[in-house]
Amino acid sequence: MSLIVMKFGGSSVGTPERMQRVAKRIIEKQQEGNDVVVVVSAMGDTTDDLIDQSKVLNPNPPAREMDMLLTVGEQISIALLSMTVHGLGGKAVSFTGWQAGMRTDSVHGKAKITDIEPNRVFKALEEGNVAIVAGFQGTSTDGEITTLGRGGSDTTAVALAAALKADVCEIYTDVDGVYSTDPRVVKNARKLDEISYDEMLELAHLGAAVLHPRAVEYAKHYNVRLVVRSSFTYNDGTSVKEEAIMEQGVVVRGIAFDKNVARISIMGVEDVPGVLANVFGALAAEGIDVDIIVQSGVADGKADFSFTVSGDDREKAIGVIESNRGVVPFRETTSESGLVKVSIVGAGMVSNPGVAATMFKAISSIGVSIKMVSTSEIKVSCVISAEPLADVVRALHTAYDLDTAEQVYVGGPSERR
């Protein structure tokens, strides 16, 4: 008998019909002789709707109350899914994050799982039930309800799979697996049969929404067998594993993009040791993640530098810099939001010179200028303006020979994306 964790994302349970389909699939899996633990997200656009609702009442709500609100979405899903399983003659018990033993730190809105005590989940399985666990939520040691960050149900599933020593963790979503890029943007994106943890981790960090980055970290760390597949078809999905077979000659495995990037520039900063440590220390202390940092030229002992943050953090970051002016004086700050970071990822890049040059050429060939660049062993990222994103991704997809005529894609487009 195998223990299988099945995770269903919001679009997979967005309507009563889809909920029914998921319930049938769960029962099938159990009837095949498996112990089945299900992790489920909030239905459809519920999380976005709850956020919109809160913003009407308070544009800047306390993070604790936000978590209290958002966890409701997953709680609706677990109850409805469990009822649906019962309606079809199956046996299921639903659990909130707390009941399933998901313990986290106390950072509201992006909590990290610290420990899992899945006793009740095991007991439910022993009694012949499907255990249905709310994704994306946990409780801190001080008894507060927390959430794991947008898309965090994937992380719940993988972490639970590790804690339960499950044989496999299957992430069911609205596409057939992990593609060479977002199949909603490039119609002939190619489905990958396998991808390595490291490449998937980069893609996820760089914006490929199909898996939450921390879920991939967990899978790598605990060596969880991870499969991404469709909840609408029975097609084979994508295996995420330690070593993935690379097709011959393929240097770039995938293209990811992050559409919510802001650039902040600080001009006329005293060019003395410790300045960067000071500025970025102050930003880190406020929980602001800084991404690409570029120092551009020193004149008369003064330097200019630019860096990127999430668009959501732009104002907060400028506030931190302004309030730090006494420690690090500067002439002025400028900022630009609505930028995009587009990235190419592939383990084969290390040994292939000229990969970045191909990227710059493909982007410039459609008349787009590159604002910032950052590279690592297995990725190159360029920050550009948002407008021509789809054209840029398509051009890169072709430039790295990722196109294919074959395309398997099921599921309705989501308005919110």
Span near ligand ASP by CB under 6 A; candidates 97-105, 146-154, 184-192, 391-399:
146-154
Name the minimum Å distance from CB 389 to Mg ion. 20
Check binding of 150 to ligand ASP (CB under 6 A): yes
According to CB under 6 A, which one of 35, 170, 174, 199 is a site residue for ligand ADP? 174
**Number of residues located near ligand ADP, criterion CB under 6 A:** 19
Check binding of 178 to ligand ADP (CB under 6 A): yes
Check binding of 213 to ligand ADP (CB under 6 A): no
Q: How far apart, in Å, are the Cα atoms of 260 and each of 87, 182, 342, 354?
A: 42, 16, 11, 28
Span near ligand ADP by CB under 6 A; candidates 206-214, 309-317, 351-359, 385-393:
206-214
Check binding of 41 to ligand ASP (CB under 6 A): yes
Name the minimum Å distance from CB 151 to ligand ADP. 5
Question: Nearest residue to ligand ADP, using CB?
Answer: 9
Which residues, 15 to 74, sit near ligand ADP by CB under 6 A? 41
Check binding of 10 to ligand ASP (CB under 6 A): yes
Span near ligand ADP by CB under 6 A; candidates 179-187, 278-286, 324-332, 382-390:
179-187
According to CB under 6 A, which one of 37, 254, 328, 330 is a site residue for ligand ADP? 254
Assess contact for 7 and 215: CB atoms under 8 A.
no
Check binding of 182 to ligand ADP (CB under 6 A): yes
Check binding of 135 to ligand ASP (CB under 6 A): yes
- Residue 204: name the closest of 21, 379, 401 by CA: 379
Which of Mg ion, ligand ASP, ligand ADP, none is residue 12 near (CB under 5 to 8 Å by kind)?
ligand ADP
Give the end-to-end CA distance of the chain in Å, rounded to a whole number: 39
According to CB under 5 A, which one of 9, 44, 101, 152 is a site residue for Mg ion? 9
Check binding of 151 to Mg ion (CB under 5 A): yes
Name the minimum Å distance from CB 391 to ligand ASP. 28
From CA 48, how far away is CA 416, in angstroms rounded? 8
- C-beta closer to ligand ASP: residue 215 or 372: 215
From CA 252, how far away is CA 304, in angstroms rounded? 33
Does residue 247 come out as left (phi exceeding 0), alpha (psi in the -120 to 50 range) or beta? beta
Place of tokens 């420990």: 115
Q: How far is CA 390 from the centre of its chain?
A: 20
Span near Mg ion by CB under 5 A; candidates 5-13, 105-113, 363-371, 389-397:
5-13
Name the minimum Å distance from CB 211 to Mg ion. 7
Token output for 159: 């972490």
Name the minimum Å distance from CB 228 to Mg ion. 10
Check binding of 11 to ligand ADP (CB under 6 A): yes
The values of phi and psi at residue 186, to 5°, are -115, 110
Name the minimum Å distance from CB 88 to ligand ASP. 24
According to CB under 6 A, which one of 42, 133, 251, 262 is a site residue for ligand ASP? 42
Which residues, 139 to 158, sit near ligand ADP by CB under 6 A? 151
Containing 270, the helix (H) or strand (E) segment is strand 254-270
Strands 113-116 and 102-104: antiparallel
- C-beta closer to Mg ion: residue 9 or 183: 9
Long-range CB contacts (< 8 A, 24+ apart) of 357-360? 358/399, 358/400, 359/396, 359/399
Check binding of 346 to ligand ADP (CB under 6 A): no
Dihedral sign for Cα 49, 342, 148, 243, please.
Answer: positive
Assess contact for 255 and 271: CB atoms under 8 A.
no
From CA 95, how far away is CA 133, in angstroms rounded? 5
Name the minimum Å distance from CB 132 to ligand ADP. 16
Residue 144 burial class via C-beta count within 10 angstroms: exposed 0-12, middle 13-18, buried 19 and up: middle
56-82 burial string, b = 16+ CB within 10 Å, else e? eeeeeeeeeebbbbbbbbbbebbebbb
Which residues, 44 to 73, sit near ligand ASP by CB under 6 A? 47, 73
| Sheet of 168-173, strands arranged across | 92-95, 130-134, 35-40, 3-8, 168-173, 226-230, 238-241, 194-196
Contact set with ligand ASP (CB under 6 A): 9-10, 41-42, 47, 73, 135-136, 150-153
Contact set with ligand ADP (CB under 6 A): 9-12, 41, 151, 173-175, 178-179, 181-184, 208-210, 254
Contact set with Mg ion (CB under 5 A): 9, 151
